Amino acid sequence: MNSPRTDAIEHFVAKWQRREPEMAQAEVFCPPALRQRYRAWGALLHELREAAFELSDARVAEVKGQWWAEELLGLAEGRSRHPVTAPLREVTAPWQALVHALLALPQHDARPGDTPAALARLAPLAAAIAATEAGVFDARPAPQDADAVAVHLLLFRLPEGLASDDQAGLPMRLLARHGLSAAEVAAGQGDALLRDWAAELLAASPPADTHDSQFRRLRTGFDRARLARLAKGRGFDPPGPFATLLRAWRLARRP
C-alpha cells in the first residue's frame, strides 16, 4: 500500500509526464536504483520551469519562486517539505547555486536580439541546473550539459509561451527577417519563423550521446527529435510512441 507521501509525488510526476510523455516511456530503461531520483528530478524541474516561465501573474510567480528557493535551500541542509524533493534529501548537489540562478533570472520582457543572445540569457540557470543534475545522478559534468538545458528551456516555452510578454524568447532578428510582429506570431502567423527558430535551436543543441547522465541523454535526444519535426513544419508534438521507445532504448543503452 502506498504511503500518502508516495501518492502525493505521483500527482507531480504525472503532471511532468503529461508535458514530456517521452520521459514516461523512457523510464523503463532507467536503472531501478536511480528510478526514484529520475522521477523526482524530472518532476522538480517541471515545477521550477513552470514557476520561472509559465505563470502569467507576476506576483504569483514571485511568491512561488521564493517558495521554491526556500525549498532548495532546505535540500542543501537535508530537509524537504514538498513530495518531489523528499527523494532528493540525501543528494549532494549545488542546491544553493541553483537558488541563486533562479532568483537572478532576467525578467521576461528582456527580448534577445538573436539566438546566441537568447541562449546566453538562460546560460547561468542552465549551468546551475546541469551542475545540480550531475550531483543527482552522480554523473560527470561537461559544458555541453548546460548547452542542452538552455535549448530545452527555450523549446518548452513553445507553443504556450508565444502568448506571453516575450513571445517565448523569440529573437528580434527572426521577427525582422520574417517581417512579423510579436502579436502576429502569437496569433499563429509565424509558421516559417518557428521552423527557422527550431532549426537554430537544433544547431545549438549538442549531440545527445555526449552526456554522461542518462537522464540528460534521453531529454536531449527527445528535444532534438522535437526540434527536427518542428523545423520541418510538423508541429510541436513529439514523434510517435514506437519511434520514441526505439530512441529511448538507443540512448539509454550507452554505457
Convert the pLDDT of each residue in 105-137 to its tens digit: 876 566 899 999 999 999 999 999 999 999 999
Structural contact between residues 129 and 21, judged by C-beta atoms closer than 8 angstroms: no
Convert the pLDDT of each residue in 178-199 to its tens digit: 999 888 888 889 999 999 999 9
User: Looking up cell 519562486, which residue turns up?
Assistant: 65
C-alpha cell read off for 211 = 552526456
Q: pLDDT in tens for each of the 255 residues of the chain?
A: 344 455 789 999 999 999 999 999 999 999 999 999 999 999 999 999 999 999 888 888 889 999 999 999 999 999 999 999 999 999 999 999 999 999 998 765 668 999 999 999 999 999 999 999 999 999 999 999 999 999 999 999 999 999 887 889 999 999 999 999 888 888 889 999 999 999 999 999 999 999 999 999 999 999 999 999 999 999 999 999 999 999 999 999 875
C-alpha cell read off for 150 = 538552455
- Rounded to whole angstroms, what are the CA distances from 124 to 8, 100, 118, 121? 31, 9, 12, 8
Whether the full predicted model's pTM is greater than 0.75, yes or no, is yes
CATH number given to 27-252: 1.10.600.10
C-alpha cell read off for 4 = 500518502
pLDDT of residue 5: 53
pLDDT of residue 2: 46
pLDDT of residue 110: 66
C-alpha cell read off for 64 = 512561488
pLDDT of residue 4: 46
Q: How long, in residues, is the chain? A: 255
**Cα 37 to Cα 53: distance, rounded to the nearest angstrom:** 24
